[in-house]
Homo-oligomer: A and B are copies of this chain.
Amino acid sequence: MRVGELSRRSGVSVASIKYYLREGLLPAGERTGPNQAVYGDDHVRRLRMIRALIDVGGLSVVATRDVLAAVDDPELPLFMALGRASGTTMTAPEPSEEQDEAWAQAERMLAEQVDARGWQVSAENPAWHTAVGVLATYTRLGDADLAQQLGLYMTTMEEVAEREVAAVVDRGDRARTVEGVVVGTVLGDALLAAVRRLAQQHCSLRLLGEAPTHPRG
């Protein structure tokens, strides 16, 4: 197919497709002449993935490009591609002078919990940095019983991650497998957040008996 049909099938405008081609998110089509090219079903799927990562996952175009580059790199082990995805998904503030003690305290707290659980995680994992940053921000805002919450999050996320990793079966096609992992990771964040909100409404209703109605808008 050519670009017009690709646009129709993916729901992405021709102008945007050209833009994604320029920015390296979408691989070029197969050339059939000096200024003609054809695209396949892979391009349709790729475009859908791009839109999902940007719209639902909230990734920037650059982050999406990097994630997809990791997906495409056959050298990269499966969960490294995932790690690459984390790096581009997560953003946390840098520690700046006066926050240093909150930062150090947060890092100690996290390290303690990680050690206590015997987790094997590398400090180079961007998620480590993010987690420390979020924890430091929490404490700076004066939030109480944070360690308890962190422990809860780690316990539950370990269960989630264990099942997620176990569910990853190699589908033969490595690219497809990695795609699934990346999509599951990025969209999983959004789904977890949404489900958390629903659970919070349910639990607040059950435990506090507050009004179930929700403000519109």
The chain A residues found within 8 Å of chain B, CB to CB, are 11, 45, 48-49, 51-52, 55-56, 58, 70, 76-80, 82-84, 86-87, 89-93, 96, 98, 114, 119-122, 124-128, 130-131, 133-135, 137-138, 140-145, 148-150, 152-154, 156-167, 179-180, 183-185, 187-208, 210-217
Q: Bound complex: CA of A149 vs CA of B192, how far in Å?
A: 10
A195 touches B153 (CB 8 A): yes
5 contacts between A and B (CB under 8 A): A48-B140, A55-B137, A127-B197, A153-B188, A162-B199
Chain B residue with Cβ nearest A211? B77
Q: Bound complex: CA of A197 vs CA of B84, how far in Å?
A: 11
**Known contacts A56-B133, A130-B190, A167-B148; is-contact A125 B160 (Cβ 8 Å):** no
Given contacts A141-B179, A149-B188, 15 further A-B contacts (CB under 8 A): A11-B98, A52-B141, A55-B91, A79-B208, A90-B190, A90-B193, A119-B199, A119-B202, A128-B194, A128-B198, A152-B163, A153-B191, A161-B196, A161-B200, A189-B193
Number of copies of this kind of chain in the complex: 2
**Which B residues lie within 8 Å of A126 (CB)?**
197, 214
Q: Bound complex: CA of A159 vs CA of B154, how far in Å?
A: 12
**Known contacts A159-B156, A189-B193; is-contact A216 B124 (Cβ 8 Å):** yes
Which among B128, B141, B153, B215 is the interface contact of A83 at CB below 8 angstroms? B215
B191 touches A135 (CB 8 A): yes
10 closest Cβ contacts across the A-B interface?
A127-B197, A161-B199, A131-B194, A130-B194, A79-B204, A119-B202, A124-B214, A157-B199, A86-B197, A161-B203
A162 touches B207 (CB 8 A): yes
B141 touches A183 (CB 8 A): yes
**Known contacts A141-B48, A156-B159; is-contact A122 B212 (Cβ 8 Å):** yes
**Known contacts A120-B206, A213-B122, A214-B124; is-contact A90 B194 (Cβ 8 Å):** yes
